[in-house]
Amino acid sequence: MFSFSVLASGSSGNAVLVWADDVRLLIDAGISARRLDRSLQQHGVNPDQLTAVVVTHEHRDHVHGLRVFARRHAVPIWATGGTWTELGDLSTEVGSERCFTLTAGKVVYFGGVAAEPVAVSHDAREPVMFCFHHGGKKLVLATDLGFVGDRLRGAIADADAYILESNHDVGMLRAGTYPWHLKRRILGDKGHLSNEAAGETLAEVIGNRTTRVVLAHLSEENNAPEVAKTAVRAILMQEGLEHLPIEVAPRHESTPLYAVG
């Protein structure tokens, strides 16, 4: 079995469960520890039996519950060196023997799961996204992307399943109430992907084996699930890819466990 669930998604908090046989990985802990516990248990996962917590970067919506969760559960934690720097004294607090460092481009093996961290353009210290490989299947988890260049497209191409950022509708963002400096950050090369950019990326990278797309990290003010799905689907239809099921990860609920492949 190789499956995943998006436990939470959006600027209010992000977390993903990746499950393959006896390996259970929690990617990010951007919601409260209590909610993380509840969400994991709903999927039949004992938080104390997680293989590891893996952190993509240090922004609050990805680490909000990490400190409390790490105190409650003696689970190994993995992050890049830059992320560890931004997390301050967390490694001292939980014990350095539980803290491990990721390097972009260097695959880490958790049992039968190969986790490939890939550097991304985002306004964090050393952010990464992940390609997970198990049993010949590939899952891509890619959010908090300022843009997708050739290197990143090559890394995420031809996956069985995608969790991909579709953060904002450009028109809604430009007309919205955010201050201009925040709009400029979101629209910039170290910000977030728009719906159109997500659709264009998918049209370039999905392959014959791709069976599922989950749009994630939607802005609450500058997007809506149907707006995102419509924009992405329109671009995919132009490429003859309208057959692909497209889901949107809820902000405050977990998705079902989706099979990879």
Report the DSSP beta bridge partners of residue 212. 161
Give the predicted TM-score (pTM) of the model.
Answer: 0.96
DSSP string, 228-247: HHHHHHHHHHHTT-TTS-EE
Write the pLDDT tens digit of every residue in 73-129: 999 999 999 999 999 999 999 999 999 999 999 999 999 999 999 999 999 999 999
CA 101 to chain centre: 18
Burial class (CB in 10 A: 0-12, 13-18, 19+), 260: buried
C-alpha angle 174-221-198 in degrees, rounded to nearest 5: 70
Report the DSSP beta bridge partners of residue 17. 5, 26
- In terms of Cα–Cα distance, which of 109, 138, 121 is closest to 51? 109
What tens-digit pLDDT sequence spans the chain (261 residues)?
Answer: 999 999 999 999 999 999 999 999 999 999 999 999 999 999 999 999 999 999 999 999 999 999 999 999 999 999 999 999 999 999 999 999 999 999 999 999 999 999 999 999 999 999 999 999 999 999 999 999 999 999 999 999 999 999 999 999 999 999 999 999 999 999 999 999 999 999 999 999 999 999 999 999 999 999 999 999 999 999 999 988 888 889 999 999 999 999 999
Across 34-103, the runs of DSSP E, i.e. the strands, are 52-54, 77-80, 99-102
Query: Amino acid letter at 245?
Result: P
- In terms of Cα–Cα distance, which of 107, 91, 45, 87 is closest to 254? 45
Alpha helices in 108-261 (DSSP H): 150-156, 170-175, 180-187, 195-205, 225-238
Query: Amino acid letter at 102?
Result: L
Report the sign of the C-alpha dihedral through residues 223, 225, 231, 232, in that order.
Answer: positive
CATH assignment of 2-254, among 3.30.56.10, 3.60.15.10, 3.40.225.10, 3.40.47.10 = 3.60.15.10
Write the pLDDT tens digit of every residue in 128-139: 999 999 999 999
